[in-house]
Structure 1
Amino acid sequence: MPEEASLEGTPTWIVASVCSVIVVISLVFERALHRLGKALEHRRRETLYEALLKLKEELMLLGFVSLLLVVFQDVIREVCIDESLMERWLPCRGASPAARHRGIIFSIFRDGGAGARRMLGGMPARATVQARPTIFMSQGEVPLLSLHALEQIHIFIFVLAITHVVLSAVTVLLGLLQMRKWMHWENAIQEEGDSAPKMIIRVQKIKFIQDWCKGHEKVALVIIWMRSFFKQFYGSVSNDDYVAMRLGFVMEHIRGHPKFNFYDYMIKALEKDFKRVVGIKWYHWIFVMIFLLFNVSGWHSNFWISLIPLALLLLIGAKLEHIINKLAYEVATKHFAADEEGNVDMVVRPSDELFWFQSPRLVLVLIHFILFQNAFEFAYFFWTLAKFGFSSCMMDGPGYSMSRIIICVVVEVLCSYSTLPLYAIVTHMGSSFKSAVFADDVAEHIRGWADGARRRNRVAGAGLVGLGVAAAAAEPSEEGTSCSSRMPEGSQPTTELA
């Protein structure tokens, strides 16, 4: 079979056509991302726009890695090692090192011809096939990494990055869909128009508190953790949980404005966290290197490593549920939420001490690692299936492969519908709030308070000249309704406490 033609012998119309297709596809993808960014800016979704910029950074990193693999492939291919070193830490057993490398090099020629050419930007395949293996075998050496193996690594890194971005986006979107029912709970609270004292009395009566008032101190710590563990599988956040934790957040950070839209704040905060989740951190790549190192035949490392995200996810879910239970217990130990003078006592007291190492941010770091590792399992499975087949030794057996996929699906579903909603609300039970998300709402409320103060000053000034009574009689209801929800703590009208 004649040797394949190089670029020198390729018709120009073929070169131009292929390059045109590649450029057009790249431009369409780039303009689609640009239009998406403009749409997010137009809708004032700054956090999602920042996540899109983070995605572009990851794609740029991916392109840089691909470029390095192409540029240095000749250098890597020139490196030779002793043949005896190839007998250790093999992902598949059976073939000798020399035969295996010859098989990798010749596997690209399905028709058995010796003149085919394979290029990633390197030398002709004839030289690779005929010259290099002879030199390596005569000296008792083998190449460190073949051209075909470099190509497979190249494809795997690309599949891993794309899979992580897609699965992270799917997880967050499914979590947001699961939390849409919270919007109805928030709307119901807004329509009720309850003041803080009335809301506190309601919180004391709800099932969230009553369940934990009954014999909580007599229950062993193990039983409490068991209840927290199993609750994450059904109704991880109930209406009562939402009402109680919403009130705790409002009274801790924006006391005096009980009508604050807690749901919108949570969604904005979650969108901001999505910007962190969509990226790949440096320590994630360390995990990939460790996995590739221990992916030895007979160790079944693929299966054991797939258990790590499941175990972490169950532990995080139990911890977040335990925080809810602990907050409920603190409420249950209080006799009254408001004393006789009408001063409001904290119902749910947010604190960083509720979290591991007093750091709510650590939960997001662990969820990020879980999503990446789960994406890694998916990417490795489909990459192996496409490049080697289901019966390959790289699959580690049908039983282990199917078990890994089932575990990955369970992790994806549980994280989307339970753990992520739990994180979205429980993480705000810390001692601080995200000021970047909070800024818009604070500015709006400050403007409202300032307008109300100016109106009251104008009414008071008019009263000094005998017009106060007329002004008060003209707009009694508007002033009462517009200012009562913005009055500071302890300044609510007495009728609100009735």
Structure 2
Amino acid sequence: MAGGGEGPTLEFTPTWVVAVVCTVIVGISLAAERALHSGGKYLKRKKQKPLYEALLKVKEELMLLGFISLLLTVFQNRITKICVKPEIMDKWLPCSLDHNDQTNEDVAHFSTSLFGGIAGYTRRLLAAGGEAQQGYCGKKHKVPLLSVEAFHHLHIFIFVLAIVHVTFCALTIVFGGLKIHQWKKWEDEHSKEINEADEVQVKITHVQEHDFVKDHFWGIGKNYRLMGWLHSFLNQFFRSVTRSDYLTLRLGFITTHCKGNPKFNFHTYMVRALEDDFKRVVGISWYLWIFVVLFMLMNVDGWHAYFWIAFVPFFLLLAVGTKLQHVITQLAHEVAEKHIAIEGELIVQPSDEHFWFGKPKFVLFLIHFILFQNAFEMAFFFWIWVQYGFTSCIMGKVKYIIPRIVIGVFIQVLCSYSTLPLYAIVTQMGSNFKKAIFDEDIRLGLVGWAKKARRRKASIDASSSGTGSDVGVQLGKVNQKTTTKS
């Protein structure tokens, strides 16, 4: 039998085994590809271009995952044959060596008693592969840099991380979208009120008695700073956006960006803008992969990095939710401090100055990091649970496990039902509007018009340049004839 100590090769493997395994793998792959393709056709049919682009982003992540898997497979033998000195492999371990020895004895006993001959055969193959590596590096009095089994577990972890991240992002946008959809009744009711109202009649609005101001105005000075931030922090848990908030922010946006269209459908625009941002959130950017590598580096026995790192997205999410609520509070204070009574409706002034660094997009970056970090935590938990068991030393004690699960669930729920809807409406209070303000057909028309205008300008410039050159040539000929006659 060929293959040495690593088990039989394909030359000595039954053909029916190869055929069955290939059929299952190809069937699963084709089913996943067809599902994504059908989802793309459905989104195209419904004219959901932002969500369709998000789906393409998911395909890109899966393609990147496939390429990583290919690299891991191709270079597995070479990497596992890199030999290092034994002493450098005894430091920075996720589990102590004493615990590892005990675990190996338990696994061996469990496999022999439960699965009998089949498990024993599988374990002997793995042991044979390990002995082959040890023999290769043992001749040099060294140990392998990464074993075949550890290499396989790393491969599975990357796959689980990508799948969990995409799934959590999809759940967030779905649940958040359902929450935002509940605001549509406010949009419809207000549009109906505009149609029934007498446009000639002008009313006087007492600022201090307006619901929007009463909910968010907390005085001036020190009292405002303390109560304003405290109120903003608590509001994200109970009532993140009220009817008066929605209608006031809506009017501020329309007055600033589309004053000539008071019946503008703000809700539809907000949903389109959120879908446009979602395609950026669903991806795993390069800096997020750097975070994964840093976590793997710090996951050392006794440091409990997997526990403390769970608080990073937790505190970030609270900070983002508080800041978004505080933007609404600032808008209310600006109006209340300047006016006692105004003619017409209460109007707030959108501005980038209310956001961190004057950039509303920075909030989207933080939400992207929060979603990835939370997905990473849950993916790591599921991977350890399935791969090594609930009692694994990497998993830690119960007092570390339960808080991680609670925090992960809390982040997912709060981000879906509070922070994401807040982000959808508050980020429209920036100085600029997004291209989603136009329908897809209008955007395509504007893009086509811009291209034609550029081509027309280029042709005019070229013709002008050509005319100038011809005139120059004719003048040169005239001057030459004049010189000759002289």
TM-score of the two chains, using structure 2 as the length reference: 0.82
Counterparts in 2 of 1:264 and 1:203: CA distance versus 1, 3 Å: farther
1: CA distance between counterparts of 2:108 and 2:203? 74
Aligned position for 1:117: 125
Q: SS at the partner of 1:333?
A: helix
Aligned position for 2:158: 157
CA contact 1:89–1:297 (8 Å) conserved in 2: yes
Matched, 1:238 2:246: no
CA RMSD in angstroms comes to 3.2
Aligned position for 1:319: 323
Q: What's the CA shift for 1:211?
A: 4.0
CA contact 1:212–1:329 (8 Å) conserved in 2: yes
Aligned position for 1:439: 438
Q: What's the CA shift for 1:216?
A: 3.9
1:139-171 CA deviation, whole Å, 9 max, x = no partner?
A: 442110000000000000000000000000001
Q: SS at the partner of 1:28?
A: helix
Aligned position for 1:487: none
Identity %: 50
Give the alignment partner of residue 9 of structure 1, picking from 9, 12, 18. Answer: 12
Aligned position for 1:473: none
Aligned position for 1:371: 371
2: CA distance between counterparts of 1:442 and 1:259? 20
1:300-331 CA deviation, whole Å, 9 max, x = no partner?
A: 11111000000000001110111000001112
Counterparts in 2 of 1:169 and 1:358: CA distance versus 1, 3 Å: same
Matched, 1:275 2:279: yes
Counterparts in 2 of 1:131 and 1:23: CA distance versus 1, 3 Å: closer
Matched, 1:256 2:260: yes
1: CA distance between counterparts of 2:164 and 2:235? 30
Matched, 1:65 2:68: yes
Counterparts in 2 of 1:365 and 1:9: CA distance versus 1, 3 Å: same
Where does 1:352-391 land on structure 2 (aligned, <5 Å)? 352-391=352-391
TM-score of the two chains, using structure 1 as the length reference: 0.80
Matched, 1:227 2:227: no
Q: What's the CA shift for 1:402?
A: 1.1
2: CA distance between counterparts of 1:381 and 1:213? 44
Q: What's the CA shift for 1:346?
A: 8.0
Q: What's the CA shift for 1:397?
A: 1.4
2: CA distance between counterparts of 1:200 and 1:275? 44
Counterparts in 2 of 1:115 and 1:179: CA distance versus 1, 3 Å: closer
CA contact 1:106–1:129 (8 Å) conserved in 2: no
1:101-129 CA deviation, whole Å, 9 max, x = no partner?
A: 999999998655599435xxxxxx73x34
Where does 1:196-211 land on structure 2 (aligned, <5 Å)? 201=205, 205-211=209-215
Counterparts in 2 of 1:203 and 1:44: CA distance versus 1, 3 Å: farther
Counterparts in 2 of 1:381 and 1:58: CA distance versus 1, 3 Å: same
Q: What's the CA shift for 1:440?
A: 1.6
Q: What's the CA shift for 1:14?
A: 3.0
Q: Which amino acid aligns with 1:429?
A: M
CA contact 2:95–2:393 (8 Å) conserved in 1: yes
Which consecutive residues of structure 1, in runs of 5 or more, have no partner in the other structure? 119-124, 448-498
2: CA distance between counterparts of 1:160 and 1:173? 20
1:164-207 CA deviation, whole Å, 9 max, x = no partner?
A: 00000001111111122210100011110156996994987531
CA contact 1:337–1:345 (8 Å) conserved in 2: no
Give the alignment partner of residue 32 of structure 2, picking from 29, 50, 53. Answer: 29
Where does 1:34-433 land on structure 2 (aligned, <5 Å)? 34-95=37-98, 111=119, 116-117=124-125, 126=128, 128-137=129-138, 139-193=140-194, 201=205, 205-212=209-216, 215-217=219-221, 219-335=223-339, 347-433=347-433
Q: SS at the partner of 1:433?
A: coil
Q: What's the CA shift for 1:219?
A: 1.4
Q: SS at the partner of 1:219?
A: helix
1: CA distance between counterparts of 2:106 and 2:432? 56
1:328-378 CA deviation, whole Å, 9 max, x = no partner?
A: 111213437766xxxx89821100000000000000000000000000000
Q: SS at the partner of 1:391?
A: coil
CA contact 2:352–2:360 (8 Å) conserved in 1: yes
1: CA distance between counterparts of 2:244 and 2:183? 11
2: CA distance between counterparts of 1:311 and 1:422? 17
Q: What's the CA shift for 1:9?
A: 2.1
Q: SS at the partner of 2:84?
A: strand
1: CA distance between counterparts of 2:182 and 2:46? 22
CA contact 1:190–1:259 (8 Å) conserved in 2: yes
Which consecutive residues of structure 2, in runs of 5 or more, have no partner in the other structure? 113-118, 447-486
Q: What's the CA shift for 1:5?
A: 3.5
Q: What's the CA shift for 1:132?
A: 3.0
Q: Which amino acid aligns with 1:266?
A: M
Q: SS at the partner of 2:39?
A: helix
Q: Which amino acid aligns with 1:428?
A: Q
Q: SS at the partner of 1:395?
A: coil
CA contact 2:176–2:417 (8 Å) conserved in 1: yes
Q: Which amino acid aligns with 1:176?
A: G
2: CA distance between counterparts of 1:13 and 1:264? 56
2: CA distance between counterparts of 1:186 and 1:202? 23
CA contact 1:40–1:46 (8 Å) conserved in 2: yes
> Which structure: greater helix fraction?
2
1:16-46 CA deviation, whole Å, 9 max, x = no partner?
A: 2321222222112111111111111111111
Aligned position for 1:491: none
2: CA distance between counterparts of 1:53 and 1:186? 31
Corresponding pairs, count: 433
Counterparts in 2 of 1:129 and 1:219: CA distance versus 1, 3 Å: closer
Q: SS at the partner of 1:393?
A: coil
Q: SS at the partner of 2:424?
A: helix
CA contact 1:337–1:346 (8 Å) conserved in 2: no
